[in-house]
Amino acid sequence: MTSPAAERFDDALRTVPPELARPELLPSRLARAAAAALPVDGAGLSLHVGALRTPIGASDELIAHAERLQFTLGDGPCLRAHDMGDTVTFDPEDIEHNWPELWAALSQATPFRAVLSVSLPPPLGPLVVLDLYAHEPEGLQRLDREEVRTIATATTQELAVAVRGPDFPDDGSGWLEGPDARRRARVWQAMGLIGVACDLDGPDAIATMQAAALTSGRVVDDIAEDIVSGRLSPQDLAAAPVPDDDLG
C-alpha cells in the first residue's frame, strides 16, 4: 500500500512548474516534492564527492541560501550526515552547541531553526544528502521517521533512473548544470586560482575563501565569483570588501 507521504511526493512530481521542467533541474523538482510530501518548510539535495560538496537542488531560494551558509561555515548537519552515512536531527540547542556561528547565521538570515539531514540509501547514498528544514523544532519532532525513509528511498530511486553511466556525476545526467551547482563550480575554479597564486592546496584554498567570507559577512560562493571574474585578486582575499548587508 502506498503511504500518504509517497502519494504527496508523486503528486508534487507530476505538478512541475515550467521553470523547473529542464532535465538538469530534476534534483530541484525532487527537493520540492520532498518538502511537499513531509511536514517541513523546505528541502535541499547536495552531492558529496571527495572533498567537494555541490548543491544540486533546493525547494526554494531560502533553502539554497541555508546550504551556502553551511558551506561557508565549513561544517553543519549536512556534512555530518554524509560523514556518518545516516539520518541526523539537529534542533536549535544542537546547532548552537556544535556550530554557534552557523546557528547565528541561520537565525539572522533565514527562518529555519531545525534541520534533519538524511544520507540517501543506495545507490545514490551516501553521495547525496537530503536536508529537511523546519521553522520550528516541533516540526521535525513530529516527523514520522518511516515516512522520511520512504521519501529518501523515492528520491534516490528517481535520481538513479537519471544516472547514465559509471562516470557519475560526470555522466551526462546534467545535475551539475543546475544554477546552484554552476554557482558552486565557481568555487572550485577559484580554489585552483588561489592555489596557484598563493601556493596552497585545495583544502587550504577553500579555508582561505571561508575566512574571507566570514570576515566580510558574505558567503564563499560570492567570494569565488569575485575571484573568477577578476574583481578580487587571490592575494587580496584578506581585504575582501564588506557589503552593506551581512550573511543574509
pLDDT the model gives residue 87: 59
CA–CA dist 109, 172 (Å, integer): 35
pLDDT at 242: 43
Domain boundaries, the chain: 4-173, 179-239
pLDDT in tens, 12-69: 999 988 899 998 899 999 999 999 999 999 999 999 887 678 999 999 999 999 999 9
Q: Identify the residue whose cell numbers are 547565528.
A: 104
Residue 91 to residue 26: CA distance in whole angstroms? 29
For domain 179-239, the CATH class is mainly alpha
Please give the residue that has the higher pLDDT: either 139 or 217.
217
Q: Which CATH number applies to 4-173: 3.30.450.40, 3.40.50.1000, 2.40.50.100, 3.30.2270.10?
A: 3.30.450.40
Q: Does the pLDDT value for residue 189 go beyond 60?
A: yes
Q: Which helix (H) or strand (E) holds 47?
A: strand 42-49
pLDDT of residue 46: 93
Q: Using CA atoms, how far apart are residues 36 and 17, in angstroms rounded to an integer?
A: 14
Residue range 133-161: mean pLDDT, rounded = 89
